[in-house]
Structure 1
Amino acid sequence: MKFFIDTANLDQIREAHDLGVLDGVTTNPSLMAKEGIKGEAAILKHYADICDIVDGDVSAEVFSTDFKSIVEEGKKLAAIHPNIVVKVPMIKEGVKAIKWFSENGIRTNCTLVFSAGQAILAAKAGAAYVSPFIGRIDDSNWDGVELIAQISQIYSLQGFKTEILAASIRSALHIVKCAEVGADVCTCPLDSILGLLKHPLTDIGLAKFLDDAKKM
């Protein structure tokens, strides 16, 4: 399973990259605003800066919601760098745009997916990635990981090539559970990735090793 970091913070992206396990980045307008990135020129430059750090795919989200504007905006984003994947919302106009992009050599990430039916539409349209938001599904008293498992089974049976990108990850446990049920990618905050490092027995064992080393 590939690890993407969900942020627009360059320092966190560098830290995840230096850890040696980073495969890509996802970001969105909210995360850009959080970093104080405003205006089209600044946003496009920030995506370019991210691509300079990361070797893998970088999802860049469109602001538009109508077909023509999504396509025009997506073309600008895709022109930034070969690793840019245009992030398109799961709406009717978005599905139409994903089909256009797939026919014109531009890879897409269909975002805001909350059902298997939506995931099927995204795959049929030719999305490179589909992003189920499992944390938000959990917030609605449904099971986000169960949705990942359902999509994984459907894609396997139907031979869809779209990769399942588990989004809205809330914890290290979410990452493990998504890996268990067949997610191809997880995208999450740096804290969730670093959370995989932690185990009390590791801390106890290390403390003993260090204590024993002092006695040598």
Structure 2
Amino acid sequence: MATTALQALCSSGIHISSDTAEYHQIPEFKEYLSDATTNPSLVLAAVSKPEYADIVQDAVQFARGRLPAASVTETTALALDRALVQVGAEISKIVPGRVSVSVDPRIANDAEAMIRKGLTLVSLLEELGIPRHRILIKIPATYEGICAAQALEHPAAGAGAPIHTNMTLVFGRVQALACAQAGVAVISPFIGRVKDWWDAQGAPAAGLAQHPGVLLVQGIRAAYAAHGYAGKTQIMAAGFRAVDEIVELGKYGVAGGPDVVTLPPHLLDGLRMRENLALPLEFEPSPVDVAATPAYFGGADAAEGAAAYARDILHEMIAAVKVPEGLAKFSADAQILEDLVKQKVLN
């Protein structure tokens, strides 16, 4: 029986997440979606359009009412947070599962600031009626970000319920293993940007089966299975550039691919237009030397784990370059969004 790639992907066991802040576009694909992701860049793109412009004005009114005597800086900060969570709340009315809302990428190297921001965002979402189990706080997978996520996921006794996290800007196996050791809920490897890195290194052209982003996810899946992390830390593949990448990554189903793919509307539509595909195939993972994996998190010596992480990130190299590069882009958009909010506060 003929089927579309979108239907085949769903039947393979891989869940599908929407990757847009433009929530009016999501209902068209609702039957296929379980989750959704956002970030400041996506929110900026949305509120720059007339149909979403009220989000910022409503957020400013909320902040003024909550903090009537606050400074412009304080009002702007609360209004910015409110705008981010309002988008998440609107999307949560459409998809049945979890919605990812990002901390400010400009604080990606400050663990305490990310913990505070995560607590603030969850509190604002809960005020809007979104239960904690439907929230993922998206945090950049810097070392400090992983530390912050570990603290949110595993609070001290009496410090409140866990806050689950989605670690973004994952480019290599070292980050992926560190995140799983820290006990985070979800990691998001960026498929297209991984290929960009290897292309820049002069890697020879190869077919989709040798796509570096696809191979990374397959390697993470094998490592997670070998270490016992499967079912504890999910893999949400992100940053696809083409339908062919998604089809290639999904051909082994969950056994050899991600738990979730997060996709913008144009790629969801592309999958829906692609027909006559049968998934999944049987996956044969590469061997994993479990004993050789350092304990970056959760070991007996935290300082030794931190040193091993710093050493291995530099050796692997890709995250050392691509994380700051990604943060620079997200941070620039976060600043534009903040300036837009601030202008509304001043008016």
Q: TM-score range by the shorter chain?
A: 0.7 to 0.9
Pairing 1:45-194 to 2, within 5 Å after superposition: 45-63=86-104, 64-65=107-108, 66-79=110-123, 80=125, 81-82=130-131, 83-104=134-155, 105-140=162-197, 141=199, 143-160=212-229, 161-179=232-250, 180=252, 181-194=256-269
Q: Are the counterparts in 2 of residues 77 and 84 from structure 1 also a CA contact under 8 Å? A: no
Q: How many residues align?
A: 200
Between the aligned partners of 1:48 and 1:126, the Cα distance in structure 2 is: 26
Tell me how far 1:7 sits from its aligned partner. Answer: 0.6
CA offsets 1:8-40 (integer angstroms, 9 cap, x no match): 0011122221xx110111111100111126522
More strand by share: 1
Between the aligned partners of 1:199 and 1:166, the Cα distance in structure 2 is: 20
Instruction: Give the 3-state SS of the residue equivalent to 2:166 in structure 1.
Output: strand
Instruction: Give the 3-state SS of the residue equivalent to 1:8 in structure 2.
Output: coil
Q: Are the counterparts in 2 of residues 170 and 188 from structure 1 also a CA contact under 8 Å? A: no
Between the aligned partners of 2:85 and 2:261, the Cα distance in structure 1 is: 24
Q: Quick check: 1:9 aligned with 2:22?
A: yes
Q: Give the letter aligned to residue 149 of structure 1.
A: Q
Tell me how far 1:78 sits from its aligned partner. Answer: 2.2
TM-score, length basis structure 1: 0.87
- Equivalent of 2:272, from 174, 197, 205? 197
TM-score, length basis structure 2: 0.55
Tell me how far 1:152 sits from its aligned partner. Answer: 0.4
Between the aligned partners of 2:147 and 2:184, the Cα distance in structure 1 is: 11
Between the aligned partners of 2:139 and 2:44, the Cα distance in structure 1 is: 18
More helix by share: 2
Tell me how far 1:200 sits from its aligned partner. Answer: 7.4
> Match of 1:209?
none
Tell me how far 1:44 sits from its aligned partner. Answer: 2.2
Between the aligned partners of 2:25 and 2:85, the Cα distance in structure 1 is: 19
Bigger Rg, structure 1 or 2: 2
Q: Are the counterparts in 1 of residues 188 and 237 from structure 2 also a CA contact under 8 Å? A: yes
Instruction: Give the 3-state SS of the residue equivalent to 2:32 in structure 1.
Output: coil
Tell me how far 1:199 sits from its aligned partner. Answer: 4.2
Consecutive unaligned residues of structure 2, counting only runs of 5 or more, are: 1-13, 48-54, 57-79, 156-161, 204-211, 277-347
Between the aligned partners of 1:136 and 1:45, the Cα distance in structure 2 is: 29
CA RMSD of aligned residues (A): 1.8
CA offsets 1:163-204 (integer angstroms, 9 cap, x no match): 111000122222222222321110111121221222478xxx
CA 49–149 in structure 1, closer or farther in 2 if over 3 Å, else same: same
Q: Identity over the aligned pairs, expressed in percent?
A: 37
Q: Give the letter aligned to residue 268 of structure 2.
A: I
Instruction: Give the 3-state SS of the residue equivalent to 1:183 in structure 2.
Output: coil
CA offsets 1:71-90 (integer angstroms, 9 cap, x no match): 11111222312211001101
Between the aligned partners of 1:102 and 1:42, the Cα distance in structure 2 is: 24
Between the aligned partners of 1:199 and 1:60, the Cα distance in structure 2 is: 30
